[in-house]
C-alpha cells in the first residue's frame, strides 16, 4: 500500500508547500515561508524525470498555492452571490486548477528548454516569472498572489520595485532560492544572494520622487455597509445618510469615500443629497471624491466610476479594468448561464479609457483607481508622471471576514513603491489606509467598522524607472536570457 502511494508523495508535499505560501502574504507577512515554498518547488522540479513529470509537479504546487490564496472567492459566490455551496466550491476549484496551469507550464519549460548545465539554475526563475506575468495578462489577467508581493514592502527585495516592479522582485526571489537549493555548498552562490539583498537595501534608501508642496490633510471614510444590504432599496436612504453623517465629521482638505458609496445612478439620487455633501466640505474648500455608477452616452452603457462631488461639473474617472464575472461577462455565449444562479447587481459595466487624466484639484493631481485595478502595476503607471498622488476606492465587503482585503492592501503597498507615490485607500469595510511612497502604512483604520481615517499625505513628482517601461524591459530581458541560454547550449 505504501509503495503504491509513494509516487504521489511529491505531489502531496508540493501541494502542501504551495498552500503554506498563503501565510507569507498579508495579513501575516511571514515572508520566509515563500522561500520554503519555492524551495520545495525548485527541488522537486529539478528531480523530475521528464518535462511531463515536471509539469504535473508544477500543477500540484499551483493547485495548493491557489486554493489557499483565493479561497475567499467562495465567500463572494456563495454568501453574497447566492451560488449554491457545491457549485461555489466547484467554481473555486476550477479557477485554482486553471491558475495552476501556469506553474505547470513553468515546470515543463524548465526541463524542456536547452541550457548549459552550469546555467540551468537560471531557467526555473525565468520561466516561472514569465508564466506568472502571462497569468496576469491572459483573458484580461488575474495576477493575484504574485510571489513578489510576499517580499513587499518589508524585505530588501522590495527595493527593486521602483526598478522593475513586482515581477522583478519575484524573479530575484526565485533566483535566490534556486541558487541555494541547487548549489547549497557553493559560496559564490551565497555571495550572489547576499549581494542581491544588499543592493535591494541600498535601492530602498534611494528617493525616486520629490515632494510637491506641503503635506495635505486627508480624510478617508469607511462606511461599513454590509454587502447583503448595500444594493437593497429598503436600506438605500440609510446608506446615503450614513455617508453624509460621516462626511460631515471629516476635517481633511481631501475627503475620499469608497467605491459605489452612492449605490445608484446620479439620476436616482435625491436632489438634496449632492448639495448636502458639498455643504459638508465647502466651509474649508475641501475636495470630495466618491464612487458612484454612472450612465454612458448610449443605451445600456454604464460605468463603475469615481467623481469629484465637490465640483458641480462632476468630473469622472471611469473604471477600465473590470472584474471578470463580477463586472462583466467574459464570452457571454459560453458563460451567460452562470448568472441564473448569481445575484450580481450591475454586472454588465462598460470599460473606461485606458489612459485618463488625473483629477486636477487644490489638494493635488489625484489619480483614482477602483478596487481590482491597483492589482495591475502596468496600468497604474498610466497616470504618471502627471499624477502626484494615487487614490484607490474599493468595496471588499464581497469577501467580508477573509484575508482578501489584507492581500489587496499589500498590493496597494507595492503600487506605492513602484510609482513613488502615496496611495490612499478608501474602502467600505477595510483595509482603509494611508500608504507612503515607500509602501509603508502610515495609518490604518480597523476593518469592519464605520469610521474616518484622518491623516496627512504628501504629493510627489517624478517617475521611477518602472513608471517609464512597466513590465516590458524585464520581459525583454528574460526572453533574451532564454534565447542566450539556448544559443550557448547549441555551441556546446
User: What are the residues facing 288 on neighbouring strands?
Assistant: 255
Complete DSSP assignment for 143-196: -TT-GGGGGTTTSGGGGGHHHHHHHHHHHHHHHHHHHHHH-TT-HHHHHHHHHH
Give yes or no: 174 in active site: no
Reading the block at residue 331, the C-alpha cell is 464570452
Exposure string of 49-62, with b = 16+ CB inside 10 Å and e = fewer, is: eebebbbbbbbbbb
DSSP 76: I
Reading the block at residue 132, the C-alpha cell is 506568472
DSSP three-state, residue 384: coil
The residue annotated as part of the active site, out of 132, 174, 259, 418, is 259
Cβ neighbours of 303 (radius 10 Å): 23
Q: Give the residue ranges of DSSP H helices in 6-84.
A: 9-20, 32-46, 51-69, 73-74
DSSP 311: S
The residue annotated as part of the active site, out of 217, 318, 319, 438, is 319
CA 36, CA 18: separation in Å to the nearest integer?
9
Side-chain-facing half-sphere of 53: CA atoms under 13 Å: 11
Closest alpha carbon to 54 in 138, 124, 152: 124
The residue annotated as part of the active site, out of 132, 318, 371, 447, is 371
Residues near 256 by beta carbon (within 8 Å), at least 6 away in sequence: 218, 219, 220, 221, 288, 289, 290, 391, 393, 424, 426
Q: Cβ(41)–Cβ(422) under 8 Å?
A: no
Residue with cell 485618463: 356
Q: Give the residue ranges of DSSP H helices in 374-471.
A: 377-380, 404-419, 465-469
List, by residue number, the catalytic residues: 259, 319, 371
Amino acid at each position: 500500500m505504501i509503495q503504491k502511494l509513494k509516487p504521489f508523495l511529491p505531489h502531496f508535499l508540493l501541494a502542501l508547500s504551495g498552500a503554506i505560501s498563503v501565510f507569507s502574504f498579508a495579513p501575516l507577512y511571514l515572508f520566509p515561508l515563500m522561500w520554503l515554498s519555492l524551495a520545495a518547488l525548485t527541488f522537486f522540479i529539478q528531480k523530475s524525470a521528464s518535462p511531463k513529470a515536471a509539469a504535473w509537479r508544477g500543477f500540484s504546487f499551483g493547485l495548493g498555492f491557489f486554493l489557499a490564496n483565493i479561497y475567499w472567492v467562495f465567500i463572494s459566490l456563495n454568501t453574497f452571490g447566492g451560488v449554491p455551496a457545491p457549485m461555489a466550491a466547484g467554481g473555486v476549484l476550477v479557477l485554482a486548477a486553471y491558475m495552476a496551469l501556469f506553474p505547470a507550464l513553468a515546470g515543463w519549460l524548465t526541463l524542456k528548454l536547452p541550457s548549459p548545465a552550469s546555467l540551468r539554475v537560471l531557467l526555473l526563475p525565468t520561466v516561472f516569472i514569465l508564466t506568472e506575468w502571462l497569468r496576469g495578462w491572459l483573458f484580461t489577467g488575474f495576477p493575484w498572489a504574485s510571489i513578489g508581493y510576499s517580499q513587499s514592502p518589508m524585505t530588501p527585495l522590495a527595493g527593486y520595485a521602483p526598478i522593475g516592479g513586482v515581477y522583478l522582485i519575484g524573479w530575484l526571489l526565485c533566483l535566490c532560492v534556486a541558487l541555494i537549493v541547487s548549489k547549497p555548498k557553493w559560496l559564490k552562490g551565497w555571495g550572489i544572494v547576499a549581494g542581491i539583498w544588499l543592493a535591494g537595501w541600498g535601492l530602498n534608501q534611494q528617493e525616486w520622487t520629490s515632494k510637491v508642496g506641503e503635506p495635505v490633510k486627508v480624510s478617508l471614510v469607511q462606511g461599513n455597509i454590509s454587502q447583503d444590504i448595500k444594493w437593497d432599496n429598503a436600506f438605500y436612504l440609510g446608506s446615503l445618510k450614513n455617508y453624509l453623517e460621516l462626511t460631515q465629521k471629516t476635517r481633511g482638505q481631501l475627503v475620499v469615500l469608497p467605491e459605489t458609496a452612492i449605490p445608484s445612478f446620479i439620476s436616482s439620487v435625491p436632489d438634496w443629497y449632492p448639495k448636502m455633501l458639498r455643504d459638508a466640505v465647502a466651509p474649508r474648500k475641501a475636495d470630495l471624491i466618491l464612487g458612484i455608477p454612472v450612465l454612458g452616452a448610449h443605451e445600456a452603457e454604464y460605468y463603475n466610476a469615481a467623481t469629484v462631488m465637490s465640483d458641480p461639473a462632476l468630473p469622472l474617472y471611469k473604471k477600465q479594468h473590470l472584474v471578470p464575472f463580477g463586472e462583466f461577462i467574459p464570452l457571454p455565449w459560453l458563460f451567460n448561464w452562470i448568472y441564473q444562479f448569481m445575484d450580481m447587481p450591475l454586472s454588465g459595466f462598460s470599460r473606461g479609457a485606458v489612459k485618463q487624466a488625473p483629477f486636477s484639484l487644490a489638494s493635488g493631481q489625484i489619480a483614482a483607481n477602483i478596487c481590482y485595478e491597483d492589482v495591475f502595476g502596468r496600468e497604474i503607471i498610466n497616470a504618471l508622471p502627471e499624477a502626484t498622488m494615487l487614490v484607490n476606492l474599493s468595496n471588499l465587503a464581497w469577501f467580508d471576514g477573509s484575508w482578501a482585503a489584507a492581500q489587496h492592501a499589500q498590493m496597494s503597498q507595492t503600487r506605492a513603491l513602484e510609482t513613488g507615490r502615496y496611495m490612499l485607500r478608501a474602502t467600505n469595510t477595510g483595509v482603509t489606509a494611508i500608504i507612503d511612497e515607500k509602501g509603508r502604512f502610515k495609518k490604518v483604520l480597523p476593518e469592519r467598522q464605520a469610521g474616518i481615517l484622518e491623516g496627512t499625505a504628501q504629493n510627489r513628482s517624478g517617475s521611477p524607472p518602472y513608471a517609464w517601461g512597466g513590465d516590458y524591459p524585464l520581459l525583454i530581458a528574460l526572453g533574451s536570457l532564454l534565447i542566450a541560454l539556448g544559443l550557448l547550449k547549441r555551441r556546446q
